[in-house]
Chains A and B, each alone.
Chain A
Amino acid sequence: MSKIRNKKKREKFDVISNVIIVLFALLNLFPLYWLFTSSLKNSSDVVKMPPDWWPKSITFSNYVDVFQNQPALRWTFNSIYVSGVSTIIVIVVGAMAAYAFSKINFKGKDIIFIIFISSLMIPKEIMIVPLFRITQQFGMVNSYNGMIWPNVAGAFGVFLLKGFFDLTPNALREAGRIDGANEWRIFTRIMVPIIKPGIGALFILNFVQVWNDYLWQLVIGQENKMKTLMVGTATLMQDLNPNFAYKMAGATIAAIPMLLVFMLFQRFFTNGITAGAVKE
């Protein structure tokens, strides 16, 4: 008797909480819906009161405007280039360092690793002044070098990939050695292919992180043509042009690539975010 009542109560609690969760999820997605639909409205419809919940006539003129009045194509290229190159460097360097930390014994290894890990916790944003002056001294302001290198310095890649290397059996290395392979061959031919899922996760997480980075790119890319998509789009916000449809079109251009990436690679996100953070 009491068990049955218990079960009923349990289900009620469960149903209510799930309804709340789904509603909040939809509410959470609404701003994005509003972003897309607003970007397709013409400039008078977008500020109409009461608003059109769905654009009555769809126009792409806002997008044309953004690409014509602003170097948005160049911004997109900058974003792809900076995120892509940073990520490739992070992976190559990160994989080698992670392999060394995971499988090779060398002097001072533990201390170096602890320093590496500590740096994970310090956001580079708070060091932005010295960081800016250093890049300035290197003559890297308004250059791709300045946009890329500070992104590459970070231990996240090493940390993530080390977790994957730690899971690979040592027997594989020994087998490789018996077959006469040197360390480099073992690394490139045996180990790297095994940790491909880790590399995939790192690629996506890092790419997205650099793509969405704002503060550093704002400081370092001062010329309009050196801006990334995020910074460029944000300048539309401060633009005197009162047309919100135009601003929303800019924001949509910055958002769409990330949405596509997410839809295609959802699995990698979950793997990458949880690796290293969640221990069973």
Chain B
Amino acid sequence: MIVFLAFLVYPILEGMRLSLYQINYDSEKFVGLANYTTLFNDPVFFKAIFNTIIFVVFIVLLTVGFALFVASAVFDKNAKYVSFIRGSYYIPVMVSMVVMSMVWSFLLNPANGLISFIYKDMGLGTINLLGNPKTVLPVVIFVTFATNVGQAIILYIASMIGVSKELFEAAEIDGASRWQVISKILIPSVGPTTTYITIINIIAVLKIFVVIQLLTGGGPNNSSVTLMYYLYNNAFKYNQLGVASAVGVIMFVITLLLSVPQLRSMIKVK
């Protein structure tokens, strides 16, 4: 309980306080809302917000859509096949974003990466997906999505296995096609799981960091900066702890608002 208070509740309050101060190594000076003003005058901050929103929207849509597709196609197949699918999509989640970012960075390397080679081999010339502001966002979206979709698939499969068998039998008697079964019975039945997956994924994408640091470094020319990366740079590179705290407070408010519906349902179930 003390640990919980010291490392969880107190930091939130402390973060709010720090966001109103200018902090140098040892001294703190109260500056009111100046840190927030600084933020709102920094184009990179808006770039970070914009990119974060793009990431959230696309990664969450892809994850929910694809996980629903995979789970609804495999949930009623035999157990060995289900666990093969579960396993092969979950392994990248297991080995972590750090490792996956390193491999992707090698694969995408313009000089000697496999993807660049294949592209050249097909006669399409040289390609530098991470060095181009137009392609860097889609690449990060794809890598993050492909690495993390396994978790959503596991949740969906478990929740679909729990759907009452009688519903499917009734549908079969009525001669419903598989597509009808999926869209009319399966997807509505797993509604709560969809809400849960959506919210935990929004929050997970909000704090996206590793892939940015290791794959793009926020570049080229800040075109892939995210809020979390911006926060980190301000805090630990530019030593702007006050500004970084302000970013943290803004992200805290966003997360809190997002998590209200989920919390409500969790509390109700209890």
Contacts and interface: CB of A to CB of B under 8 A. Distances in A.
Interface string A237-280: 10000001001101100110011011000100110011001111
Contacts of B107: 31, 34
Report, nearest first, the 8 A-B pairs whose CB atoms are least far apart: A121-B259, A153-B7, A212-B96, A47-B112, A130-B14, A25-B88, A130-B11, A280-B162
A279 to B, nearest CB: 6
10 contacts: A10-B178, A35-B106, A118-B263, A122-B252, A130-B15, A133-B241, A214-B209, A234-B213, A254-B95, A255-B95
A77 interface: no
B106 A126 contact: no
Interface stretch (B41-49, B67-75, B127-135): B67-75
A32 B98 contact: no
Q: How large is the interface on A (under 10, 10 to 19, 20 to 34, 35 or more residues)?
A: 35 or more
A128 B98 CA distance: 19
A113 to B, nearest CB: 7
A269 B93 CA distance: 12
B218 interface: no
Nearest to A33: B103
Q: Which has the most chain A C-beta neighbours within 10 Å: B104, B109, B154?
A: B154
A47 B106 CA distance: 10
Interface of A: 2-3, 6, 9-10, 13-14, 17-18, 21-22, 25-26, 28-29, 31-32, 34-35, 38, 46-47, 49-51, 93, 97, 113-119, 121-134, 149-150, 152-155, 208, 211-212, 214-215, 219, 230, 233-234, 236-237, 244, 247-248, 250-251, 254-255, 258-259, 261-262, 266, 269-270, 273-274, 277-280
A28 B94 contact: no
Nearest to B262: A121
B11 A131 contact: yes
B96 A255 contact: yes
Contact of A149 (B7, B77, B203): B7
Interface in B20-44: none
Interface of B: 1, 3-4, 6-12, 14-15, 18, 69-70, 73-74, 77, 83-92, 94-107, 109, 111-112, 114, 117, 121, 146, 151, 154-155, 158-159, 162, 175, 177-179, 192-193, 196, 199, 203-204, 206-207, 209-210, 213-214, 228, 231-232, 235-236, 241, 244-245, 247-248, 251-252, 255-256, 258-259, 262-263, 266-267, 269-270
Given A9-B177, A28-B92, A118-B263, A129 B214 contact: no
B207 A123 contact: yes
A31 B266 CA distance: 37
A133 to B, nearest CB: 7
Given A29-B91, A149-B7, 20 more contacts: A17-B69, A25-B84, A32-B91, A32-B103, A34-B106, A38-B106, A49-B112, A117-B266, A121-B262, A127-B12, A129-B235, A130-B248, A153-B4, A248-B106, A250-B102, A254-B98, A255-B96, A261-B94, A262-B90, A273-B155
Contacts of B6: 134, 149, 153
Given A38-B106, A134-B11, A152 B248 contact: no
B112 A28 contact: no
Nearest to A166: B270
B79 to A, nearest CB: 12
B106 A259 contact: no
Contact of B8 (A113, A119, A214): A119
A261 B94 CA distance: 9
Given A32-B92, A32-B95, A35-B103, A244 B112 contact: yes
Chain A residues touching B, majority SS: helix
Chain B residues touching A, majority SS: helix
B103 A251 contact: yes
A51 B252 contact: no
Contact of B102 (A3, A22, A212, A233): A233
Contacts of A230: 96, 98
A49 to B, nearest CB: 5
Nearest to A93: B3
A10 B263 contact: no
A270 B158 contact: yes
Nearest to A229: B98
A21 B88 CA distance: 10
Q: Which has the most chain A C-beta neighbours within 10 Å: B14, B99, B159?
A: B99
Contacts of A32: 91-92, 95, 103
Contacts of A153: 3-4, 6-8
Given A6-B175, A259-B94, A237 B154 contact: no
Contacts of A236: 102
Given A49-B112, A126-B231, A251 B99 contact: yes
Contact of A123 (B84, B99, B203): B203
B200 to A, nearest CB: 8
A279 B269 contact: yes
B209 A262 contact: no
Contacts of B266: 117
